[in-house]
Amino acid sequence: MTRLTKFARPATSLVIYAVLAALIVVPFLSFLAMSFFSVEGVTINRTPTMGNFIRAFTDPVMMSVFWRTILLCGAIAFVTTLIAYPVAVFINGLQGVARYVLLTATTAPLILSYVMKIYAFRSILGGNGLLNRMLLATGIIDTPSSFFVFNLNAVFLVLAVLLAPFAILPILLSLEKIPAALSEAAADLSASRWTIFRTVTVPLSRPGIATALSFTFIMSIGDFVTPQMVGGPNGFTFGRIIYSQFGLAFNWPFGAALGVLMAAVIVVVLALAMRLGRVPGGASR
Amino acid sequence: MTRSLSAQVGLALITALLLIAIYGPIGVTVAGAFLPMKGGIIQSFTPSLAAFGKLSTDTGLIRSLMMTLAVGAVATVISVMLATALALFSTERGGTHARVVTLIVFLPFVMPPMVTGLSLLIFFRDVGIDRSLLTVTIGHVAIILAIAYRGIAVRLTDLGRSQIEASLDLGASRWQTFHRVILPNITGSLAASALLCFALSFDETLVTLLLTGTESTFPIKLWGMTRLGITPAANAILAILLALTLAGSALAIGLRRRSQP
Amino acid sequence: MSSKVPSKLLELRSVGKSYGTAQVLKDVDLKIEDGEFLVILGPSGSGKTTILRLIGGFIAPSQGEILLDGAIINDLPINRRPFNTVFQDYALFPHMTVRGNVAYGLSVRGVPKAEIVARSDKVLALVSLGPLADRYPAQLSGGQRQRVALARAIVCEPRLVLLDEPLAALDVNLRRQMQVFLKEIQREIRTTFLFITHDQEEAITLADRICVMDHGKIMQIGAPRDLYDRPGSAHVARFFGDNNLIEGRILSVAGGRATLDTPLGTLVACCDPSSGLADGDSAFLAIRPEKIRILAREDPCPDDAAALGVTITRKEFAGPLTHLSFVPDAAPSILLSAKRLSDEMALLSLGEPGLRACWGISDTWVVRA
CATH number at residue A104: 1.10.3720.10
| C258/A142: higher pLDDT | C258
The confidence score (pLDDT) of residue C331 equals 86
Distance CA(C61)–CA(C30), nearest Å, equals 14
Please say whether the beta carbons of B111 and B177 come within 8 A.
no
CB pairs under 8 A between A and B: 218
- The reported pLDDT for the residue numbered C102 is 94
CA geometry: angle C182, C187, C188, nearest 5 deg: 100
Residue in A1, A20, A239 closest to B104 by CB: A20
pLDDT reading at A137 higher than 90: no
* CA dihedral for B120, B123, B125, B130, sign (positive or negative): negative
Most confident of A69-83, A223-237, C251-265: A69-83
- Residue B138 and residue B123 in contact, taking contact as beta carbons nearer than 8 Å: no
pLDDT over 80 at A172, yes or no = yes
Chains that touch C (3 or more CB pairs under 8 A): A, B
Question: With an 8 Å Cβ cutoff, are A1 and C58 in contact?
Answer: yes
Residue A156 Cα to chain centre, angstroms: 12
Residue C30: partners with Cβ closer than 8 Å, 6 or more residues away? C11, C12, C15, C51, C211, C218, C221
Q: Does C19 touch chain B (CB under 8 A)?
A: no
What mean pLDDT, rounded, does chain A reach? 84
Query: CB within 8 A of B67, min separation 6: which ones?
Result: B133, B215, B216, B217, B218
B170–C77: do the CB atoms touch at under 8 Å?
no
Orientation of helix A60-92 relative to helix A96-107, angle to 10°: 160
Show residues of chain B in contact with C78, CB under 8 Å.
Answer: 165, 168-169
| A141 occurs within a structural domain | yes
- Whether B162 sits inside 8 A of C83 (CB atoms) is no
Contacts of B209 in chain A (CB under 8 A): 225
Q: Is the CB of residue C352 less than 8 Å away from at least one CB of chain B?
A: no
Fold classification of B62-230 is: MetI-like fold (1.10.3720)
Contact A4 C57 (CB under 8 A): no
Contacts C84 to B, Cβ<8 Å: 169-170
Looking at the domain assignment, is residue A18 inside a domain? no
| Alpha carbon of C187: minimum distance to chain B alpha carbons (Å) | 22
**Residue B25 binned pLDDT confidence (cut-offs 50, 70, 90):** confident
- Interatomic CA distance for residues B97 and A133, integer angstroms: 59
Q: Does position A6 have pLDDT exceeding 50, yes or no? A: no
How does pLDDT run across B26-83, given as a tens digit for each residue? 888 888 777 776 655 666 667 777 777 777 777 888 888 889 999 999 999 999 999 9
Of all residues in chain A, the one with the smallest CA distance to B135 is A23
Termini Cα distance of chain A: 27
Between chains, do C77 and A1 touch, taking CB under 8 Å as contact? no
Could you give the residue range(s) of every CATH 1.10.3720.10 domain in chain B? 62-230
Q: How far apart are CA C322 and CA C319, in angstroms?
A: 7
Instruction: Please name the residues in contact with A139: beta carbons below 8 A apart, sequence gap of 6 or more.
Output: none
* Cβ under 8 Å to B: A residues 78-97: 83, 86-87, 89-91, 93, 97
Chain C contacts in chain A segment 5-44 (CB below 8 A): 5-6
- Do the beta carbons of residue A66 and residue A261 sit within 8 Å? yes
Domains of chain C, start order = 8-234 (3.40.50.300), 242-368 (2.40.50.100)
**Mean pLDDT value of segment B109-114:** 88
Among A156, A194, A169, CA closest to A79: A156
pLDDT of residue A154: 85
Report CB contact under 8 Å: C58, A2. Answer: yes
CA diameter of chain A = 80
Q: Are B165 and C77 a contacting pair at CB < 8 A?
A: no
CA dihedral B202→B208→B211→B215, nearest 10 degrees, is: 60
pLDDT in tens, A184-220: 888 887 778 888 888 888 988 999 999 999 999 999 9
Considering only the beta carbons, identify the residue of B169, B173, B184 that sits closest to C84: B169
Whether residue B222 contacts residue B234, with contact meaning beta carbons closer than 8 Å, is answered with yes
User: Which of A23, A162, A251, A261 should one mutate to test binding to chain B, selecting the residue with the greatest count of B CBs within 10 A?
Assistant: A23
Angle between helices A252-276 and A60-92 (to 10 degrees): 40
Q: Residue B244 pLDDT > 90, yes or no?
A: no
Q: Find the CB nearest A263 among B22, B28, B111.
A: B111
Query: Is A44 a domain residue?
Result: no
Nearest residue to B24 via CA among A264, A119, C120: A119
How many domains does chain A fold into? 1
C-alpha span between C82 and C166 (Å, rounded) = 20
Distance CA C358, CA A65 (A): 96
* Residue A155 located in a structural domain: yes
Is A279 a residue whose pLDDT tops 50? yes
Lowest mean pLDDT among A157-171, A233-247, B52-66: B52-66
Q: Is the pLDDT of residue A106 over 70?
A: yes
- Closest residue, chain C, to A2 (C-alpha): C58
ipTM above 0.85? Answer: no
3-state secondary structure of B216: coil
Closest CA to A183 of A93, A94, A97: A93
The beta-carbon contacts of A258-261 under 8 Å, at least 24 apart in sequence, are A258/A52, A258/A56, A258/A62, A259/A31, A259/A35, A259/B114, A259/B115, A259/B118, A260/A31, A260/A32, A260/A35, A261/A53, A261/A56, A261/A66
The better pLDDT of the pair B3, C108 is held by C108
- Look at residue C338 and give its three-state secondary structure: strand
Question: Three-state SS for C287?
Answer: strand
Q: How many angstroms separate the Cα of C134 from the Cα of each of A254, C111, C130?
A: 68, 21, 9
Q: C192-197 and C22-33: which strand pairing?
A: unpaired
From the CA atom positions of chain B, what is the Rg in Å? 23
pLDDT at C170: 87
Domain assignment present for A41: no
Are residues C90 and C146 in contact, defined by beta-carbon separation less than 8 angstroms? yes
Within 8 A by CB and 6+ apart from B246, the residues are A108
Residue A110: domain span: 49-276
Rounded average pLDDT over B152-168: 88
pLDDT at A281: 64
**Would residue A234 count as lying in a domain?**
yes
CB contact A178 to B (< 8 Å): no
CA distance to partner chain B, nearest, from residue A71 (Å): 17
The answer for residues whose C-beta is within 8 angstroms of residue A60's C-beta and 6 or more apart is none
Residue A281 in any domain: the answer is no
Asked if residue B100 has pLDDT above 70, the reply is yes
pLDDT, residue C4, reads 54
In a domain, A15, yes or no: no
Contact check, Cβ <8 Å, B39/A123 = yes
Which has the minimum average pLDDT: A6-20, A151-165, B98-112, C74-88? Answer: A6-20
- pLDDT level of residue B260 (50, 70, 90 thresholds): low
CA distances from C331 to A229, B224, C348, C360 (A): 96, 101, 21, 20
C196/B6 Cα distance (integer angstroms): 61
Q: In tens digits, what is the pLDDT along chain C, a chain of 369 residues? A: 445 566 788 999 999 999 888 889 999 999 999 999 999 999 988 889 999 999 999 889 999 999 999 899 999 888 889 999 999 888 899 888 999 999 998 988 889 999 999 999 999 999 999 999 999 999 999 889 999 999 999 999 999 999 999 998 888 888 999 999 999 999 999 999 999 999 988 999 999 999 999 999 999 999 999 999 999 888 888 887 789 999 999 998 888 889 999 988 889 999 888 878 888 889 999 999 999 988 887 788 887 788 888 888 999 998 899 999 999 988 888 899 999 888 888 888 888 888 888 999 989 999 987
Question: Which three-class secondary structure state does DSSP give residue C189?
Answer: helix
Is C125 strand, coil or helix?
helix
Provide DSSP, chain A: -----TTHHHHHHHHHHHHHIIIIIHHHHHHHHHTT-EEETTEEE-S--SHHHHHHHH-HHHHHHHHHHHHHHHHHHHHHHHHHHHHHHHHHT--HHHHHHHHHHHHGGGGS-HHHHHHHHHHHHSTTSHHHHHHHHTTS-SS---TTSSSHHHHHHHHHHHHHHHHHHHHHHHHHTS-HHHHHHHHHTT--HHHHIIIIIHHHTHHHHHHHHHHHHHHHHT--HHIIIII-TT---HHHHHHHHTTTS--HHHHHHHHHHHHHHHHHHHHHHHHHTPPTTS---
Q: Whole-angstrom Cα distance, residue A24 to residue B142? A: 7
Contact C58 A5 (CB under 8 A): no
CB-CB contact of C40 with C213 (8 Å): yes
